[in-house]
């Protein structure tokens, strides 16, 4: 039997960097501009093309018996009145759950089932959000500093962006009169 050697990674709790850095993905607005409901605002912001979020994953074998884990940072900001957010995805292996531990910042986690049932729960420092099997998930930064969270999920879960790239998600999170407001997505 060949065993995987136990090992540590570290989160720099001041700068929220993973050490060692792992595999990083940076998403700019141009990677997901058609997901924002206000397409005119998205087009305007494309000139600047801000970095919306980045995430860094610890390298482990992507098998059912391993646990992938990563740290994601969503920058503060809005496209029109809709807050910066991740693309959102189902897992390719749909029957796999995930846990998000929020380390810093404030936000909302927008979830939905393949049938379109929606659920939105808060994220704040110390919240442990449970994403049950089958639920698509997207995170939204509603605060004025980065939203940072640590996620753990089954190694073979994978990402399925397909239907969300086509029609985004049922609920949107916008600022209305200085407050965070959850609304039906008019384009869904």
Q: Which residues bind ligand S6P (CB under 6 A)?
A: 55, 70, 72, 86-89, 98, 137, 151, 153, 157, 159
177 three-state secondary structure: coil
Here's the x/- map for Zn ion, 79-118, by CB under 5 A: it reads as -------------------x--------------------
- Give the nearer residue to ligand S6P in terms of CB position, either 88 or 105: 88
- Which residue's entry shows tokens 């292996």? 93
Residues pairing with 183 in the sheet = 172
Size of site (CB under 5 A) for Zn ion: 1
The secondary structure of residue 188, as a DSSP letter, is -
CA pair distance 110, 43, nearest whole angstrom: 24
- Give the nearer residue to ligand S6P in terms of CB position, either 22 or 80: 22
The secondary structure of residue 33, as a DSSP letter, is G
> Which partner in Zn ion, ligand S6P, none is near 88 (CB below 5 to 8 A by kind)?
ligand S6P
- Least distance in angstroms from the C-beta of 153 to ligand S6P: 5
- Which residue's entry shows tokens 């018996």? 65
- Give the nearer residue to Zn ion in terms of CB position, either 42 or 151: 151
CB-based contact 54:26 (threshold 8 Å): yes
CA pair distance 89, 27, nearest whole angstrom: 14
- Least distance in angstroms from the C-beta of 40 to ligand S6P: 24
CA pair distance 110, 18, nearest whole angstrom: 25
- Give the nearer residue to ligand S6P in terms of CB position, either 164 or 174: 164
> Which partner in Zn ion, ligand S6P, none is near 102 (CB below 5 to 8 A by kind)?
none
61's tokens? 């074998």
Q: Which residues bind Zn ion (CB under 5 A)?
A: 98
């Amino acid at each position: 039997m060949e065993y995987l050697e136990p090992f540590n990674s570290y989160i720099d709790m001041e700068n929220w960097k993973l050490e060692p850095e792992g595999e990083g993905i940076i998403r700019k607005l141009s990677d997901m501009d058609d997901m924002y409901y206000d397409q005119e605002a998205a087009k305007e912001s494309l000139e600047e093309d801000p970095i919306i979020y980045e995430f860094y994953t610890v390298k482990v074998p992507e098998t059912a018996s391993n646990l992938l884990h990563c740290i994601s940072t969503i920058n503060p900001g809005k496209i029109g009145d809709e807050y910066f957010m991740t693309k959102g995805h189902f897992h390719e292996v749909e029957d796999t759950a995930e846990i998000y531990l929020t380390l810093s910042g404030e936000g909302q986690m927008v979830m939905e089932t393949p049938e379109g049932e929606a659920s939105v729960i808060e994220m704040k420092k110390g919240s442990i959000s449970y994403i049950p099997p089958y639920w698509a998930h997207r995170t939204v930064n509603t605060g004025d500093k980065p939203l940072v969270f640590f996620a753990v999920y089954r190694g073979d879960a994978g990402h399925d962006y397909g239907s969300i790239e086509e029609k985004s998600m049922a609920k949107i999170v916008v600022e209305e009169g200085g407050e965070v407001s959850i609304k039906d997505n008019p384009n869904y």
